[in-house]
């Protein structure tokens, strides 16, 4: 990796790949990608040769490593970020008749977990700078039925947690933070995972650390931790390994749970990956800084905004197009970048605009203007710790080429 990257800034307009010109890259650069090292493979193989493929010693080791790293008392692993969200919604006591407030600009799972419990997700609009849940908009949606708030740390930028926790305190609500983008993010010098009543992480391959599929809830509350552990294991009050070590066969099912367990094979991978979290975060921050400096002088591109009291974890790098300065819409710019072999993406179609939510709750569109306006202009650029400096420069070359072509 060179210390001083050079952008191959075109002097004049280049022919876009979408119009038949040569693409910036020969192969597609994805928006996110995992990285697996030899040590990961060895750790998994060691577990495959051991006595425990699931519910063995690697679970606790991985959970303790994550709890310590984020600064939480307890961490409970799950088979996915989505099952972790479901468990957190259960542990918060959400049930039929309850409401939970969340952001429309998220992956559907954030709101779906409320529906799994028979409760109703209520959306509140996002703040125009961070695109995170706006605490004032959330306050306006609180009713006598509200039981929880689910802020999302969009792109890895922590939500406005102090304001949300204060609001929750005033109304007796539980805060379930969807930090699936934000492992390693800092809010007022404290790591996400130690701040909300429960914080949810995902270990899907595009996230900061992967177990293939996987998730985790961190909490300081011992009752929540116990409920979460039972919920992931059919509602049973002890696990198979505890019973084996005590020489017992008797067990009790005390609540209606699921099989949401993460395997020891997956935890061995996660534990090994967790050793590289600091290095991977540093690399993501370096890439974000390079992007930000390039976009400071690029009309038509609005880089993600960062508040002064946070240090984002940069799961995504979503730019917003300044459509007034461009002769094309998001769709054309998106296709042009894909043709250059830059694997851009869009995060997210607002949840209330999906057919399921539209049909079930009667959303017409237009209810959440800040989120909906952002959606029309968002493009996620490639962002993952394994990107080389040359990859980053390819992205900047392609964005420069396409934006110049379409600038008014
Ligand atoms: C990835 C993600 C999830 C769900 O994670 P899975 O592990 O894929 O189930 C939930 N919410 C957000 C915001 C995510 O990005």
**Domains of the chain: which residue ranges?**
11-34+277-406, 38-274
Q: Which CATH architecture has domain 38-274?
A: 3-Layer(aba) Sandwich (3.40)
Residue nearest to atom 2 of ligand 1 (CA): 180
DSSP code string of 120-177: EEEE-PBPTTT-SB-HHHHHHT--TTEEEEE-B-GGGPPP-HHHHHHHHHHHTPEEEE
Report pLDDT for 1. Answer: 42
Q: What percentage of the chain carries pLDDT values higher than 90?
A: 92
CA distances from 152 to 96, 119, 228, 368 (A): 23, 18, 20, 16
Instruction: Indicate whether residue 81 lines ligand 1 (CB < 6 A).
Output: yes
**Exposed, middle or buried by CB within 10 Å (0-12, 13-18, 19+), for 340?**
buried
State pTM to two decimals.
0.95
**Exposed, middle or buried by CB within 10 Å (0-12, 13-18, 19+), for 335?**
middle
Helix (H) or strand (E) holding 99: strand 99-102
Q: Which residues are catalytic?
A: 207
CA distances from 309 to 158, 180, 186, 279, 304 (A): 10, 20, 8, 22, 15
How far apart are the C-alpha atoms of 83 and 254, rounded to whole Å?
A: 19
Output the CA torsion sign for 385, 388, 389, 391. Answer: negative
Ligand 1 atom closest to the Cα of residue 206 is 1
Predicted confidence (pLDDT) per residue in 349-396, tens digit: 999 999 999 999 999 999 999 999 999 999 999 999 999 999 999 999
With H, G, I as helix, E, B as strand and everything else as coil, classify residue 211. coil
Residue nearest to atom 7 of ligand 1 (CA): 81
Report pLDDT for 388. Answer: 98
Classify the phi-psi angles of 306: left when phi > 0, otherwise alpha if psi is within -120 to 50, otherwise beta.
Answer: beta
Confidence band of 297 (pLDDT split at 50, 70, 90): confident
Q: What six digits make up the tokens of 19?
A: 């119009």
Q: Are 303 and 297 in contact (CB under 8 A)?
A: no
How far apart are the C-alpha atoms of 229 and 235, rounded to whole Å?
A: 8
Confidence band of 12 (pLDDT split at 50, 70, 90): low
Instruction: Indicate whether residue 334 lines ligand 1 (CB < 6 A).
Output: no
Q: List the one residue out of 188, 138, 137 whose CA is nearest residue 158.
A: 188
**Mean per-residue pLDDT for 126-153?**
98
Residue nearest to atom 14 of ligand 1 (CA): 180
- Answer yes or no: is pLDDT of 8 > 60: no
How far apart are the C-alpha atoms of 327 and 300, rounded to whole Å?
A: 10
**Mean per-residue pLDDT for 217-245?**
91
Residues in Cβ contact with 49 at an 8 Å cutoff, skipping those fewer than 6 apart: none
Predicted confidence (pLDDT) per residue in 86-128, tens digit: 999 999 999 999 999 999 999 999 999 999 999 999 999 999 9
How far apart are the C-alpha atoms of 219 and 23, rounded to whole Å?
A: 47
Instruction: Indicate whether residue 151 lines ligand 1 (CB < 6 A).
Output: no
CA of 202 to the centre of ligand 1 (A): 6
**Mean per-residue pLDDT for 173-188?**
98
Q: Are 196 and 165 in contact (CB under 8 A)?
A: yes
With H, G, I as helix, E, B as strand and everything else as coil, classify residue 77. strand
* Per-residue DSSP letter, 35: -
- Answer yes or no: is pLDDT of 244 > 90: no
Instruction: Indicate whether residue 152 lines ligand 1 (CB < 6 A).
Output: yes
The interaxial angle of helices 57-70 and 264-274, nearest 10 deg, is: 30
**Mean per-residue pLDDT for 293-307?**
96
Question: What's the alpha-carbon Rg for the chain, to the nearest Å?
Answer: 22
Instruction: Indicate whether residue 92 lines ligand 1 (CB < 6 A).
Output: no
CA of 213 to the centre of ligand 1 (A): 10
User: Ligand 1, from 34, 79, 80, 81: best to mutate by most atoms within 8 Å of Cβ?
Assistant: 81
Q: What six digits make up the tokens of 325?
A: 């300065």
User: Ligand 1, from 34, 77, 78, 82: best to mutate by most atoms within 8 Å of Cβ?
Assistant: 82
Task: Name the fold adopted by 11-34+277-406.
Answer: 3.90.1150
CA of 81 to the centre of ligand 1 (A): 5
Report pLDDT for 2. Answer: 45
Instruction: Indicate whether residue 202 lines ligand 1 (CB < 6 A).
Output: yes
Q: Are 214 and 262 in contact (CB under 8 A)?
A: yes
- Answer yes or no: is pLDDT of 229 > 50: yes
- Answer yes or no: is pLDDT of 305 > 90: yes
């Amino acid at each position: 990796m060179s210390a001083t990257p050079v952008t191959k800034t075109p002097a004049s307009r280049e022919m876009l790949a979408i119009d038949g010109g040569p693409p910036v890259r020969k192969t597609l650069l994805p928006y996110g990608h995992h990285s697996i090292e030899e040590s990961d493979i060895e750790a998994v193989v060691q577990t495959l040769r051991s006595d425990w493929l699931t519910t063995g010693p690697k679970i606790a080791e991985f959970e303790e490593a994550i709890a310590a790293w984020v600064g939480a008392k307890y961490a409970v692993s799950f088979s996915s970020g989505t099952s972790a969200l479901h468990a957190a919604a259960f542990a918060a006591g959400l049930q039929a008749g309850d409401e939970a407030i969340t952001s429309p600009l998220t992956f559907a799972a954030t709101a779906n977990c409320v529906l799994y419990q028979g409760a109703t997700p209520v959306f509140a609009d996002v703040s125009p700078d961070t695109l995170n849940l706006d605490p004032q908009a959330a306050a306006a949606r609180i009713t006598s039925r509200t039981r929880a708030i689910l802020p999302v740390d969009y792109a890895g930028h922590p939500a406005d947690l102090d304001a949300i926790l204060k609001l929750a305190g005033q109304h007796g609500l539980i805060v379930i933070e969807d930090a699936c983008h934000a492992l390693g993010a800092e809010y007022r010098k404290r790591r996400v995972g130690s701040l909300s009543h429960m914080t949810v992480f995902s270990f899907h391959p595009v996230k900061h650390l992967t177990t293939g599929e996987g998730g985790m809830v961190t909490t300081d509350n011992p009752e929540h931790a116990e409920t979460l552990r039972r919920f992931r294991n059919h509602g049973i009050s002890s696990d198979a390994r505890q019973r084996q070590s005590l020489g017992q066969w008797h067990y009790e099912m005390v609540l209606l749970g699921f099989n949401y367990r993460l395997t020891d094979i997956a935890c061995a991978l996660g534990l090994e990956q967790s050793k590289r979290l600091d290095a991977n975060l540093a690399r993501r921050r370096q890439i974000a800084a390079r992007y930000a400096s390039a976009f400071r002088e690029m009309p038509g591109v609005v880089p993600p905004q960062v508040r002064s009291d946070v240090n984002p974890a940069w799961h995504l790098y979503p730019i917003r197009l300044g459509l007034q300065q461009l002769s094309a819409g998001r769709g054309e710019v998106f296709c042009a970048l894909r043709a250059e072999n830059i694997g851009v993406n869009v995060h997210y179609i607002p949840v209330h605009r999906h057919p399921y939510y539209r049909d079930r709750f009667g959303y017409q569109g237009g209810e959440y203007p800040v989120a909906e306006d952002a959606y029309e202009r968002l493009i996620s650029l490639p962002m993952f710790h394994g990107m080389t400096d040359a990859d980053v420069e390819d992205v900047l070359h392609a964005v420069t080429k396409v934006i110049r072509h379409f600038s008014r």
